[in-house]
Amino acid sequence: MEGNVSLTMELEQAIRGRRSIRSYTNQPVPLNLIRKVIEAGTWAPSGKNAQQWRFTVLTGSSKNDFTRIMRTELDERSKRFGIAVMGSSFRTCQIMEQAPAVILVWNAGGAVPGDRVREAVKMIEKRDSRARELGHKVEIQSVSAAIQNMLLTAHSLGLGTLWVNDIYYAIDALEKHMKKPWELVAAVTIGWPTEEEKKKSPPKKMSVDEVSEFCT
């Protein structure tokens, strides 16, 4: 697929058609497409427009180093606590190793340096520790909204993604390895899905009536 693909897919089609992709071809993803995916993330809503999201794109040796640290940590934890408590973490690490690129998604905190919001948050936190906890929830919601934008945009470009939370099995080691002053929220694998993955059936979803109540 060419690197100058435009966003033409209808929104509902993208929402219903997106899948979690766990197998990729070895074809690299052009940088301009990765930039387009990240740019979509930056248009997500965020509390007080703080735009807490930050992104690190890993390919090649940088991705290999990251997944090596993760696999080493998973091995050590499985020896200490047993393989039964490791969930899908080893399989997820394998997927990250195979994917052409991995985007790390960070939470940089309550506000951009110099923003008036930062001072306001500090003042609130001095008076109410609960405000700090709630403020963090807002940050995570904002970053999560950016991730959803990214997944839908990647799908509209013919790319596959997987929203990875199994990094939490090795979060301390991974954050130490990356040496960033931020909180690592998630990773997103990105690449061209294999033909088998393209044929995956949609997961069964609960109906609106099953998950909603309408109050008057």
Does domain 17-196 match CATH 3.30.930.10?
A: no
| pLDDT tens column, 187-198 | 999 999 999 999
Alpha-carbon distance values, 177 to 10, 67, 74, 115, 171 (Å): 40, 11, 15, 29, 10
Alpha helices in 128-207 (DSSP H): 129-156, 171-178, 195-198
Question: pTM, whole model, 2 decimals?
Answer: 0.87
Residue among 55, 43, 52, 54 nearest 138 (CA)? 52
- Cβ neighbours around 135 below 10 Å, total: 19
| Percent of the chain residues past pLDDT 90, beyond the cut | 77
**Contact partners, residue 29, CB within 8 Å, separation at least 6:** 100, 101, 159, 190, 191, 192
Residues 6+ apart with CB under 8 A from 166: 87, 88, 89, 92, 93
State how far the Cα of 87 lies from the Cα of 69, in Å rounded to an integer: 18
Over the stretch 69-93, which tens digit does the pLDDT of each residue have? 999 999 999 999 999 999 999 999 9
Phi, psi of 209 (to 5 degrees): -65, -30
Please check the confidence at residue 112 and state whether its pLDDT lies above 50. no
> Vertex 106, ends 200 and 19: CA angle to 5°?
10
- Kindly tell me the burial class for residue 167, based on how many C-beta atoms sit within 10 Å of its own C-beta (0-12, 13-18, 19 or more): buried
pLDDT at 2: 46
Rounded to the nearest integer, the mean pLDDT of the chain is 89
Q: Residue 163 pLDDT > 60, yes or no?
A: yes
